């Protein structure tokens, strides 16, 4: 099982590298690359959860190895969540600006000649 997992991970990494090196890339290529990468991360997280929740596997690691795994994971997760916050805030800001523009456009189309005041 572990050897097959490693080989699949290596193929996934190669696919990610190929996607990142493709030139030229349009918006769809970038979205496809992000989607593939996130699914790869999701797959990896599920694998980690299977290991962490399996005492038969985790008992084989000593304290130092567990500390190193924990350190790397928490550092990675902290950076990922910080980036998540940054992108979410940017997306929310863009969404609000688009919503405001739509509301203003709707308001302009709703106005009737009686609503206009000319001097």
Cβ atoms 55, 76 nearer than 8 A: no
Dmax over CA atoms of the chain, in Å, equals: 85
Burial of 39 (0-12, 13-18, 19+ CB in 10 A): exposed
- The pTM for the full model equals 0.75
Measured distance CA(76)–CA(72) in Å, rounded: 6
Q: Tokens for 49?
A: 């959860």
- Predicted confidence at residue 118, as pLDDT, reads 57
- Predicted confidence at residue 117, as pLDDT, reads 58
Q: What is the pLDDT along the chain (119 residues), one digit of tens a residue?
A: 689 999 999 999 999 999 999 999 999 999 999 999 999 999 999 999 999 999 999 999 999 999 999 999 999 999 999 999 999 999 888 777 777 777 777 776 666 666 665 55
């Amino acid at each position: 099982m572990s050897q097959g997992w490693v080989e699949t991970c290596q193929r996934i990494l190669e696919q990610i590298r190929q996607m990142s090196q493709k030139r030229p890339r349009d918006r769809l290529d970038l979205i496809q690359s992000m989607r593939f990468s996130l699914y790869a991360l999701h797959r990896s997280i599920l694998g980690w959860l299977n290991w962490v929740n399996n005492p038969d596997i985790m008992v084989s690691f000593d304290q130092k190895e567990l500390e190193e795994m924990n350190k790397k994971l928490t550092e990675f997760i902290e950076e990922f969540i910080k980036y998540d916050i940054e992108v979410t805030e940017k997306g929310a800001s863009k969404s609000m600006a688009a919503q405001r523009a739509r509301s203003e456009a709707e308001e302009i189309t709703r106005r009737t000649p009686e609503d206009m005041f000319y001097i």
